[in-house]
Amino acid sequence: MDCIFCKIASGEIPTTVVYEDDKVIAFNDTDPQAPVHVLIIPKEHIASMAEINESNSAVVAHIFEVAALIAREKGLDNGFRVVSNCGESAGQSVHHLHFHLMGGRDFGWPAG
Ligand code: AMP
Ligand code: ZN
């Protein structure tokens, strides 16, 4: 499968690793929308939030633990935002589940 985030997860495509363990990898977004903009992904290929089910949801819980850890490490004490764009309307451009962890500025709501 020609998936850019699978290639990042396997090390085939180099990236700026922020965090990594056997289940997930977190790396800097190449087109940052905030001073801190990290993508956290499962190493397993899951296409989007729409594909989450009982058999693969544990990694999502783990991703949120990692998000809190990275936010602490990056000193995002004022707050941060975690977003997963799912499907066409939300503007998902990479079809491998990923969570944007953004911080270091104020955010509007509702988002775009
Ligand atoms: P989305 O549009 O929500 O699917 O998010 C995809 C994100 O992946 C965008 O913010 C891109 O800037 C980012 N992105 C695409 N290719 C890479 C890459 N090779 N390394 C890091 N981030 C990437
Ligand atoms: Zn993939």
Task: Give the residue ranges of DSSP H helices in 32-110.
Answer: 58-73
Neighbours of 105 (CB within 10 A): 13
Which pLDDT score is estimated for 37?
98
Torsion angle defined by CA atoms of residues 2, 42, 68 and 80, in that order, rounded to the nearest 10 degrees: 30
Which pLDDT score is estimated for 91?
97
Instruction: Point out the ligand nearest to the CA of residue 12.
Output: 1
Atom 15 of ligand 1 has which residue's CA nearest to it? Answer: 30
| Ligand 1 pocket: which of 7, 8, 29, 101 to mutate (most atoms within 8 A of CB) | 29
Which pLDDT score is estimated for 112?
81
Structural tokens at position 112: 């775009």
Which pLDDT score is estimated for 5?
98
Helix and strand numbers (H, E) in the chain are 2, 5
Known catalytic membership, residue 98: yes
Residue 111 DSSP label: -
Which pLDDT score is estimated for 1?
77
Helix, strand or coil, per DSSP, at residue 28: strand
Predicted confidence pLDDT, tens digits, the chain (112 residues): 799 999 999 999 999 999 999 999 999 999 999 999 999 999 999 999 999 999 999 999 999 999 999 999 999 999 999 999 999 999 999 999 999 999 999 999 998 8
Structural tokens at position 7: 């290639």
